[in-house]
């Protein structure tokens, strides 16, 4: 289905994409960070599967880059499941994220490919915000670069020997204002959005031991730019 607003257009699971896959059934390996973009993508994948009677199940998987991530991810999964009860989900899986991050991502892609019949992986990477709105402009430049881990792609999988299994990135040509607008248009700002957590600041003082967003890291600034608000707290 086409999602379109003033910030762009995404044809999610387009006919052309589905026809390019090795199979029309199997497992979607859906990366779920706990942030608002992967949460929306999980929601939209489930919506497409249910409304179009597609034969995919969803395997949500999470890299634990903060101590609360598996809990946050599980709450998002439960919310999505309650909206789309006909969609089948594999049990949520997660792993610790240690340096070097890329090795962990690579090893997990191999592991999941061996254990499940993965048809494609998903990744909610999108275009970065304008550098002017960021305090940490160096980090902004790094995140935007091709080398950034978030820009993981099908070639990275092929390098690992995982063939015919694309890394599907439907938001790669839009920025976070697009996904914020989809939240508004689908009335998800009161339901799904408050469950998401984007702040990645590991400073326990600035985040009250991860109970509130710091308001100053890259991810907080990007979320505020797109949504006009930081992570909701106190849920
Ligand atoms: Zn933050």
CA of 150 to the centre of ligand 1 (A): 17
CA of 26 to the centre of ligand 1 (A): 36
CA of 10 to the centre of ligand 1 (A): 28
What is the C-alpha to C-alpha distance for residues 41 and 47, in angstroms, rounded to an integer? 10
CA of 67 to the centre of ligand 1 (A): 14
Q: What is the pTM for the complete model shown?
A: 0.96
The answer to whether 10 and 126 are in contact (CB under 8 A) is: no
CA of 214 to the centre of ligand 1 (A): 4
List pLDDT tens digits, range 107-137: 999 999 999 999 999 999 999 999 999 998 9
Query: Which numeric CATH code is attached to 2-227?
Result: 3.40.50.620
CA-to-CA dists, residue 232 to 105, 110, 149, 206, angstroms: 28, 35, 26, 15
CA of 5 to the centre of ligand 1 (A): 27
CA of 232 to the centre of ligand 1 (A): 12
What is the C-alpha to C-alpha distance for residues 71 and 68, in angstroms, rounded to an integer? 6
Closest CA to 69 of 108, 35, 42, 46: 35
Instruction: For residue 234, count CB atoms less than 10 angstroms from its CB and return exposed for 0-12, middle for 13-18, buried for 19 or more.
Output: exposed
pLDDT of residue 234: 47
Instruction: For residue 155, count CB atoms less than 10 angstroms from its CB and return exposed for 0-12, middle for 13-18, buried for 19 or more.
Output: exposed
CA of 170 to the centre of ligand 1 (A): 25
216 secondary structure, DSSP code: -
CA of 217 to the centre of ligand 1 (A): 4
The answer to whether 32 and 192 are in contact (CB under 8 A) is: no
Report H helices in 53-164.
69-83, 101-115, 137-144, 154-159
Side-chain-side CA neighbours of 220 within 13 Å: the count stands at 18
The answer to whether 118 and 26 are in contact (CB under 8 A) is: yes
What is the C-alpha to C-alpha distance for residues 144 and 11, in angstroms, rounded to an integer? 23
What is the C-alpha to C-alpha distance for residues 147 and 142, in angstroms, rounded to an integer? 8
pLDDT of residue 235: 39
Does 194 sit behind a cis peptide bond, omega within 30 degrees of 0 on the bond before it? no
What is the C-alpha to C-alpha distance for residues 117 and 196, in angstroms, rounded to an integer? 28
Could you give phi then psi for residue 87, rounded to 5 degrees? Answer: -85, 135
pLDDT of residue 143: 87
CA of 220 to the centre of ligand 1 (A): 4
Q: Can you give the three-state secondary structure of 173-194, one letter per residue? A: CCEHHHHHHHHHHCCCCCCCHH
Which parts of the chain have pLDDT scores under 70?
Answer: 234-235
CA of 213 to the centre of ligand 1 (A): 5
- What are the tokens at 103? 């090795």
């Amino acid at each position: 289905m086409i999602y379109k607003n003033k910030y762009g257009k995404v044809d999610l699971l387009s006919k052309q994409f589905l026809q390019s896959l090795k199979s029309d059934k199997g497992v979607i390996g859906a990366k779920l960070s706990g942030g608002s973009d992967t949460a929306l993508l999980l929601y939209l994948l489930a919506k497409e599967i249910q409304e179009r009677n597609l034969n995919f199940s969803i395997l949500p998987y999470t890299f634990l880059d903060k101590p609360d991530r598996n809990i946050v991810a599980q709450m998002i999964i439960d919310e999505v499941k309650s909206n789309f009860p006909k969609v089948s989900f594999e049990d949520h899986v997660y792993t610790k994220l240690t340096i070097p991050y890329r090795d962990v991502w690579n090893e997990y892609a191999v592991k999941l490919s061996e254990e499940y019949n993965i048809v494609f992986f998903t990744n909610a990477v999108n275009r970065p915000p304008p550098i002017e709105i960021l305090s940490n402009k160096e980090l902004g430049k790094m995140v935007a670069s091709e080398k950034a881990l978030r820009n993981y792609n099908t070639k990275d999988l092929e390098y690992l020997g995982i063939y015919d299994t694309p890394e599907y990135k439907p938001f790669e040509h839009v920025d976070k204002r697009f996904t914020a607008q989809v939240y508004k248009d689908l009335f998800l700002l009161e339901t799904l959005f408050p469950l998401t957590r984007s702040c990645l600041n590991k400073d326990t003082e600035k985040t009250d031991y991860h109970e509130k967003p710091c308001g100053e890291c890259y991810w907080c600034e990007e979320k505020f730019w797109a949504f006009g608000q930081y992570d909701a707290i106190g849920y």
